[in-house]
A and B are shown apart, each in its own frame.
Chain A
Amino acid sequence: MSALILLTVFGIIVLYLGFANNKKILAPVAITGLLISMFLSIKDWNLGSKYFHDMMIIDNFSIAFNVSMVIITILIFLFGVNYYKRMEHHVAEQYALMIFALTGAFLMTSFSNLIMLFLGIEILSIPLYILAGGKKSSFRSNEASFKYFLLGSFATTFFLFGIALVYGASATFYLPEIKTYIAQFNGHLPPMLMVGLLFILIGVSFKVAVAPFHFWSPDVYEGSPTLVTAFMATVVKTAGFAAFYRLLGMGLLPLPGPLEKTLWVMTMLSLLVGNLAALRQTNFKRLLAYSAIVHTGFMMLAMLSQHDSSASVLLYYTFVYSLATVPLFIIFIYMKRASSGLEELSIFRGLYKQKPWMAVFMTILLMSLAGLPPTAGFLAKYRVFILSISQGYLAISIFAIVMAIIGVYYYFYVLRETFSESDNPNPIEISRLNSLLIVVCGVAVLLLGIFVWSVPI
């Protein structure tokens, strides 16, 4: 709890530091705040404390996810040091908004009451609407922001409607109570409750961009400032899945048959649509957006294969996925700068020639996303498949494997560009801090893939 409060405080501090007109101190302060709150979080390990009439339960699950998100945020902030160098005004707001969003994410990992979930989602989302429109004069940023906002609010209304219906049926917002309430129907739920639950699930699905509620994500990813995209693709996705899992694990599992089937359909659709659309994608950010949709599918697979270790797998998957995605965005932004603002895949040409080591790490990161050994991405997928196969979902696993194969195509397409000769070789300059960041992430992805298999939560 202290972590959450501290985070809020630091958000406000950073916001006020904006008046100091000193960009250099923003990131250090923000990162300090994040580090402190991380340690405070870790201090609560194994305590299982409850707050606000049990509306929040901070258990190991939430701590693990919080720490993972904080680490990723730190990476993004470090990235931001260089990214915001060119930006004259309102840099403090950027950091502050991200910290606020992180607070929302914290709520999402530790709620046990639907009100808290709603608040978490909204606290996460509203700063993001603003962040997405961060480039005020850019029409694309503007469009992304508005799309995200409108679709997001629209989904929120359904979510709320769902909560209302569930509340109407069960007279409570507490997940454990809802669970006992549902249990009494023995699988045959009244329509109102069923629809209510469906709406809740859809609301969360929208946040994690599961097909067919994924339409916002490619556009928003593309239009938003790259740093924000990185934040959305990683932290927001992690938070969304933490919330999703908590929702299911604390309240809704075992899901009534129709709802479970619905989720399976959504899983398969995500894998399919994301992959297919990514195949012919030429814009790198969109490509990562579609790839994120596919990864969502895999995470759904892990989540729906209900097992004791599902949470651990989910955490591992999200963390590893984020760890590979952030540095890819960093490399992307430098390539974009070197090619005067283009975002096509072809901008990666010549990277190997100029910065062979960066190309090597890019390879590792892409391999991790594609799920090839010996990277952590492979281990993550391996564990997902172990879950799904051991739970007997053979056909779906085969389907997912086929999808993984398709995925390799576009990741390696990018890789191929990286190792190709460039027609127009502009010098690529990567700041030392960011190079280090990429290297650290790449090495981490490798070492995690070899040595770290799971986190007990």
Chain B
Amino acid sequence: MKDISSAIQLIPLENYVFLSVALFSIGMMGVLFRRNTIAILMCLELMFNSVNLLLTAFSAYHSDPAGQVFVFFIMIVAAAEVAVGLSIIVMMKRNVDSVDINLLNRLKW
């Protein structure tokens, strides 16, 4: 455990932060600009994972396991969420035969 921690600490913390921010931003951009809901879901997953990465890095730097425990929770929840999301998409596909996000605009004003 210690070794892993120290190995992780070899790389400066900023790099982890920058990386996860970059990942997070890429995911965000994906969510913002993609029209296919499946792709959006994947981008969301990317955002979750960037958070996981960040938490793990911090956890290592602080030598505190809580962060990594949290990562597990996040993974579980994210999985559940994706499951629900996918099923909603399936339902949508059944209803309108499309997974284009811009079709979802009947509820407005």
Please report A residues at the B interface, Cβ cutoff 8 Å. Answer: 115, 118-119, 122, 126, 129-130, 133, 136-137, 139-140, 142-147, 149-150, 153-154, 156-157, 160-161, 163-165, 167-168, 171-173, 192, 218-220, 222-223, 281, 286
Instruction: Report Cα–Cα, A164/B48, bound state, in Å.
Output: 11
CB contact under 8 A between A222 and B91, given known A164-B54, A168-B58, A171-B62:
no
Apart from the given pairs A143-B92, A157-B27, A192-B17, 11 other A-B contacts in the complex at a CB distance below 8 Å: A115-B69, A115-B70, A126-B84, A130-B87, A140-B107, A146-B89, A146-B104, A156-B81, A160-B74, A165-B54, A168-B62
Most B CB within 10 A of own CB, among A160, A164, A220, A222: A164
B85 touches A153 (CB 8 A): yes
B88 touches A149 (CB 8 A): yes
Instruction: Report Cα–Cα, A156/B44, bound state, in Å.
Output: 10
B77 touches A119 (CB 8 A): yes
Offer 14 A-B interface pairs, CB within 8 angstroms, sorted by A: A115-B69, A122-B81, A126-B81, A126-B84, A129-B88, A146-B92, A153-B81, A154-B44, A160-B51, A164-B54, A167-B59, A167-B62, A168-B17, A223-B107
Q: Which residue in chain A gives the minimum CB-CB distance to B66?
A: A173
B88 touches A146 (CB 8 A): yes
CB contact under 8 A between A167 and B85, given known A143-B107, A154-B31:
no
B62 touches A129 (CB 8 A): no
Bitwise interface map of B from 78 to 101 toward A, beta carbon under 8 Å scored 1, else 0: 001100110111011001100001
Q: Which residue in chain A gives the minimum CB-CB distance to B70?
A: A115
CB contact under 8 A between A150 and B91, given known A140-B106, A161-B54, A167-B67:
no
- Min CB distance A131 to B, Å, is 11
Which residues of chain B come closer than 8 Å to A192, judged between CB atoms? Answer: 17
Q: Which residue in chain A gives the minimum CB-CB distance to B47?
A: A157
- Min CB distance A206 to B, Å, is 14
Which residues of chain A come closer than 8 Å to B108, judged between CB atoms? Answer: 219
Q: Which residue in chain A gives the minimum CB-CB distance to B92?
A: A142
Which residues of chain B come closer than 8 Å to A172, judged between CB atoms? Answer: 64, 66
Instruction: Report Cα–Cα, A342/B101, bound state, in Å.
Output: 26
Q: Is B18 among interface residues, defined by CB-CB distance under 8 A? A: no
Partner of B107, one of A168, A219, A281: A219
A149 touches B85 (CB 8 A): yes
Instruction: Report Cα–Cα, A126/B78, bound state, in Å.
Output: 10
- Min CB distance B67 to A, Å, is 6
- Min CB distance A60 to B, Å, is 28
CB contact under 8 A between A142 and B44, given known A161-B54, A167-B58, A168-B17:
no
CB contact under 8 A between A118 and B73, given known A139-B95, A149-B84, A157-B44:
yes
A171 touches B85 (CB 8 A): no
A142 touches B62 (CB 8 A): no
Instruction: Report Cα–Cα, A143/B107, bound state, in Å.
Output: 8
- Min CB distance B106 to A, Å, is 6
- Min CB distance B41 to A, Å, is 8
A133 touches B47 (CB 8 A): no
Which residues of chain A come closer than 8 Å to B50, judged between CB atoms? Answer: 161
Which residues of chain A come closer than 8 Å to B101, judged between CB atoms? Answer: 150
Which residues of chain B come closer than 8 Å to A163, judged between CB atoms? Answer: 51, 55, 70
Q: Which residue in chain B gives the minimum CB-CB distance to A283?
A: B109
B31 touches A161 (CB 8 A): no
B80 touches A144 (CB 8 A): no
Which residues of chain B come closer than 8 Å to A150, judged between CB atoms? Answer: 31, 37, 40, 44, 85, 101
Which residues of chain A come closer than 8 Å to B55, judged between CB atoms? Answer: 163-164, 167
Which residues of chain B come closer than 8 Å to A149, judged between CB atoms? Answer: 81, 84-85, 88
CB contact under 8 A between A164 and B58, given known A119-B73, A154-B44:
yes
Bitwise interface map of B from 30 to 70 toward A, beta carbon under 8 Å scored 1, else 0: 01000001001000100110110011011101101011011
Which residues of chain A come closer than 8 Å to B95, judged between CB atoms? Answer: 137, 139, 142
Which residues of chain B come closer than 8 Å to A286, judged between CB atoms? Answer: 109
Instruction: Report Cα–Cα, A169/B69, bound state, in Å.
Output: 17
Which residues of chain A come closer than 8 Å to B51, judged between CB atoms? Answer: 157, 160-161, 163-164
B106 touches A146 (CB 8 A): no
A133 touches B107 (CB 8 A): no
- Min CB distance B50 to A, Å, is 8
CB contact under 8 A between A115 and B58, given known A157-B27, A157-B44, A157-B48:
no
Q: Which residue in chain B gives the minimum CB-CB distance to A122?
A: B77
B96 touches A139 (CB 8 A): yes
- Min CB distance A262 to B, Å, is 20
CB contact under 8 A between A142 and B47, given known A119-B73, A119-B77, A157-B24:
no
Instruction: Report Cα–Cα, A119/B67, bound state, in Å.
Output: 14
CB contact under 8 A between A222 and B107, given known A153-B81, A157-B47:
yes
- Min CB distance B60 to A, Å, is 11
Bitwise interface map of B from 11 to 24 toward A, beta carbon under 8 Å scored 1, else 0: 00100010010001
- Min CB distance A229 to B, Å, is 12
Which residues of chain B come closer than 8 Å to A281, judged between CB atoms? Answer: 109
Instruction: Report Cα–Cα, A71/B9, bound state, in Å.
Output: 51
Q: Which residue in chain A gives the minimum CB-CB distance to B48?
A: A157
Partner of B88, one of A133, A171, A173: A133
